[in-house]
Structure 1
Amino acid sequence: MKNRFKLITYCLAALCTLQSCDKGLEEINSNPDASSTISPDFVFTKAQYDAVGNIITGLQGTMQYTTSYNDVASWGSKYIFNQGTAPYTVFSNAYPNEINEIGEVIRGLEKDPALVNKLAIAKIWRVYAFSKITDLYGDIPYSQAALGYTQSLFKPAYDPQKDIYADLLGELEKAIALFDATKSTFGAADLIYAGDITRWKKFAYSLMLRMGMRMTKPDIALAETWVKKAIAGSLIEDDADIAKITYMASGQVVNQNPLAYWMLNSDYLKADGISNPEGGKYYDTFINYLKKTNDPRLPVLSVVYVNGKPSTDVRIQKGMAANIPNTKPADFVTYSEPNQNTILKLNSPMLVLTNAEVNFYLAEAALRGWYTAKPAATLYDLGLKAAMRQWSLYGSDGVIAQATIDAYATANALVTTNTFEKQLEQLYTQFWVSIFPNSQEVFLNWRRTGYPALVPNNYVGNITGGQIFRRMLYPATEENLNKENYNSAVSRQGDNTFLTRMWLDK
């Protein structure tokens, strides 16, 4: 008994010692750089960076802005997909980044009535982020998305795109109604408007206009309803209200223009016109159109290297054909490529939603009889001129003289004697030029309208039968890790292919 008592006493002492050790280990194992609670302002900044930078860069080729002789690098212009992750990018990156981040921001704000303006802005941004994903993929995880941390829900269901759009537009309307001019808002943490609630309302209504126009194919009546609601609000119609993020030329990559960073590191970093690792140049369709219409944006956007020096001389600008086999052409250096002083500047802005885009949508609304305050020709003219002025945001090399802008606009005025369809074609062909380099937005609008009337590249070995993409692909990880919900979405929407038409495209 005495020995047993000694043993018990020893074990109790050891247990107390271990408990003391546990307390010490808890402190040692705590990450001094981590926090158990988020700072909504900091996370909101990251959510803005991530959403704007999360793009399908290959759509530059699909919309026939750029191409490459390299088959792998030019999947967007040759429709060849044997390897890589390009079609999955937005889906794969969105959920662990901007979608999760903006969800955390909203959860951190919604319990404090004093933060209602920040909450409204965060909700608007969530609509923007989700609209971008569903526009590219169709049915996606939405109502159960980003609930892994809070509800341990790691296999979210896919919602039908029609339902997603209905909810997003409803959320947008409710978010606008939340604003209270007497309450505080974001400051420098908001990279777009520094918390200016008047401008955020304009962004929200302009996003509503964009989304309303998206629905003209599947539900024209619903499209009209939401377009008219947007018009009844306040829209981005002035240069000062353009939604954009301005980047820095140095520092961390997240602070640099993501499109410029991608283009530089893929092809144009050496800036000699010949040492392009991925073989990229401007597509002949794009350069030919700019030359044919004497577009003053050509020297702003494009250079040809002559004896190692960039030239903006419009007479020598020349686009490369997309059907060149997988071999570098002997005259490769003679083809046009992006201007280092505008498109490729790391501190150039990313334009999220502009007055040019808004005016083009309003012009279509006027053609449809949904908007009567201004005629379609006036709105088209406003959009065209705004699109030319916005290049000044890229620096002095982007400035186009007002007299030059006016002359081009006069020479390319909307031909109002044409049929509705011909006017729509002229409108959205100009949209194609004017919204560049936002190829993702142009792709989504081309899918809706069919304009510009691009001729597909039926390159040998392509996987679409020589047809331009209709959507992007769900990543293989979804089929493997969320199989039941993935299969449900595919059975409802159609096969996971580039040509499957989602609800918005029917």
Structure 2
Amino acid sequence: MKFKFNLIIAAATLCITSLSCTKDFVDVNTNPNEAAKVSPQALLGPTIYKTILANIDRNMRINNELMQVTVTTNNNLEFHRYEVRATETEAMWRNWYVELTNIRDIYHSAGIAQQAGFQAYQGISRILDVWVSSLLTDMYGDIPYFQSNLGYKELNTTPVYDKQIDIYRDLFLKLEQANQLLTDNTIPDAQKNMDPLFAGNTEKWRKFGNSLYLRLLLRVSHKPELDAAVKIREIVETKSSQYPIMASHDDSAILYFSSQEPYINPYLNARDIDFNGNKGYSHFFIENLIALGDPRLALWATQPTLGTYLGMQSGYPRGLVPERQSTFHLSLKTSPKLGNILNYAELQFILAECALRGFTFGDSWQHYQDGVNSAMQIWDANVPVNYFSNERVGFFPTDTDETKLKKIHLQKYFALFFTDFQQWYEYRRTKALDLIPGPGLEGRKMPVRMTYPLITQALNKVNYDEASARMGGNTPNGLMWWQPAN
């Protein structure tokens, strides 16, 4: 009986029930059975913060290894050799679904409250829902979506796995709803300090939502089913007045950490040795920053010997561990700038690519320059004189569109530093980065997805089996609707 009870509890947890993230944050009752009594403003800050902390943790562990930001000296199964342990795939599934419960409670509690300004929280909830749901489906493919997070409300602990195309359709619908909900509704002044992203500025939330819309539209723009290119042109040009997007760096969706609770940098009190652990920067990361003459190199990396920056070989053979070279600069431990969700620089690189592909009539070169300038601004760095004259940076008459796309995505790669899994998602979409394959890969391909967590196979087997079969098997190189063929 004890085993059966524990299994039910696990199912209720991992098949998406409500676990409040607010117990360490605010003195508020977050009993999921009384969600209507939880004020949406009380859930907002903790939910954003907890999601970002989980994203940073797995960014360091998974994304950075896959995308040759860092390399570990651990000689076991490792991501930099495209080796994925089955046990590695559960953390984000669990964290994202837990926070989705809180995000959807924001929407429902705001609707029940019927108070002035609370419709704005419904719009914010829709944006956060799309942000987290898109992270989930872009990582795993077909996932529980329409029936998810109903474990405590409807006792549904075996939700159906929905097709990614249907999920994306609904993500776009939610962003349309958010745009409308935030058009004429504001957050009461007394509650604005509970919004850690935009201090209750609903117009900035609206800009964030529509910029997120462009990120996701571009991600699926090579698929004809959703007419993404048509919608991109509407947002950027033909109906731009109805869809405000980020207009400057100040509109960026970044949770700036502080040195005090509740929004501290998660590494603030870490020991120096624990912050870097057993990893160092990769050769790809360091050598590209050197070739670009990029001032962020000195802000991000240490010098193993005076005046020298060096990286490690990613994908080294098992047993041939290279010497660790440049590591994270210790100032990153206290930096307020690691909590990025979507910044203005990324938006400008999105617009540069849209113009390059002919989705819009914009100036790809101008958007690209604006993106570079904003990416530097995030880190209080100045674009060096003649930076755009560098053949690795500027657009030149002899450059093909493919060459320009590679330049856009190299700069975008650095603008996405510490940003969840966006580097990996974008590389899978475009292959526009010239990553350096190491000899230890032994023919393994870059994973196109994380496999479903082991516990889902036991607790939701029928729906797991159906989704796995649809995706060509529950493997790192299975099928995903938007994923281009390797």
TM-score, length basis structure 1: 0.80
In the alignment, which of 235, 239, 245 is matched to residue 255 of structure 2? 245
**Secondary structure in structure 2 of the residue aligned to 1:281:** strand
In structure 2, relative to structure 1, the CA distance for the partners of 1:424 and 1:484 (3 Å cut) is: same
Give structure 2 stretches of 5+ with no counterpart. Answer: 1-26
**Secondary structure in structure 1 of the residue aligned to 2:200:** coil
CA shift at 1:205, angstroms?
A: 0.7
Give structure 1 stretches of 5+ with no counterpart. Answer: 1-30, 393-399
Is residue 362 from structure 1 mapped to residue 365 from structure 2 by the alignment? no
**Cα distance in 1 between the residues matched to 2:328 and 2:99:** 29
Contact preservation (8 Å) 1:137, 1:474:
yes
In the alignment, which of 230, 237, 241 is matched to residue 235 of structure 2? 230
Residue equivalent to 2:470: 492
Residue equivalent to 1:454: 435
**Cα distance in 1 between the residues matched to 2:41 and 2:28:** 20
Larger radius of gyration, structure 1 or 2?
1
In structure 2, relative to structure 1, the CA distance for the partners of 1:81 and 1:208 (3 Å cut) is: closer
Matched ranges for 1:58-457 at <5 A: 58-72=62-76, 75-82=78-85, 85-95=87-97, 97-111=98-112, 112=114, 114=116, 115-181=118-184, 183-185=186-188, 186-219=191-224, 222-231=227-236, 232=240, 233-251=243-261, 255-258=263-266, 260=267, 268-269=272-273, 277=277, 279-305=278-304, 313=307, 316-322=308-314, 323=316, 325-326=318-319, 331-332=323-324, 335-341=325-331, 343-345=332-334, 347-372=336-361, 374-392=362-380, 400-402=381-383, 404=384, 406-411=385-390, 412-438=393-419, 440-457=421-438
The one-letter amino acid of 2:365's match is A
In structure 2, relative to structure 1, the CA distance for the partners of 1:201 and 1:32 (3 Å cut) is: closer
Contact preservation (8 Å) 1:249, 1:346:
no
**Secondary structure in structure 2 of the residue aligned to 1:67:** strand
The one-letter amino acid of 1:359's match is Q
**Cα distance in 2 between the residues matched to 1:182 and 1:434:** 32
In structure 2, relative to structure 1, the CA distance for the partners of 1:33 and 1:153 (3 Å cut) is: closer
In structure 2, relative to structure 1, the CA distance for the partners of 1:445 and 1:261 (3 Å cut) is: farther
In structure 2, relative to structure 1, the CA distance for the partners of 1:230 and 1:50 (3 Å cut) is: farther
Residue equivalent to 1:27: none
Contact preservation (8 Å) 2:182, 2:203:
no
Contact preservation (8 Å) 1:457, 1:466:
no
Contact preservation (8 Å) 1:384, 1:409:
no
CA shift at 1:364, angstroms?
A: 0.9
Identity of aligned residues (%): 27
Q: Deviations over 1:118-139 (max 9, x none)?
A: 1111111111111111111111
**Cα distance in 1 between the residues matched to 2:425 and 2:48:** 21
Root-mean-square deviation (CA), in Å?
2.5
**Cα distance in 2 between the residues matched to 1:419 and 1:497:** 36
Q: Deviations over 1:486-506 (max 9, x none)?
A: 111111122111111311103
CA shift at 1:348, angstroms?
A: 3.6
Q: Deviations over 1:427-472 (max 9, x none)?
A: 1122122322326111111110111021333426x7xx42111111
Is residue 474 from structure 1 mapped to residue 452 from structure 2 by the alignment? yes
**Cα distance in 2 between the residues matched to 1:141 and 1:257:** 32
CA shift at 1:410, angstroms?
A: 3.6
The one-letter amino acid of 1:285's match is F
The one-letter amino acid of 2:309's match is Q
Contact preservation (8 Å) 1:380, 1:414:
no
The one-letter amino acid of 2:282's match is Y
Contact preservation (8 Å) 1:208, 1:226:
no
TM-score, length basis structure 2: 0.84
**Cα distance in 1 between the residues matched to 2:395 and 2:227:** 27
The one-letter amino acid of 2:155's match is S
**Cα distance in 2 between the residues matched to 1:450 and 1:429:** 11
Contact preservation (8 Å) 1:243, 1:353:
yes
In structure 2, relative to structure 1, the CA distance for the partners of 1:132 and 1:317 (3 Å cut) is: same
**Cα distance in 1 between the residues matched to 2:186 and 2:268:** 38
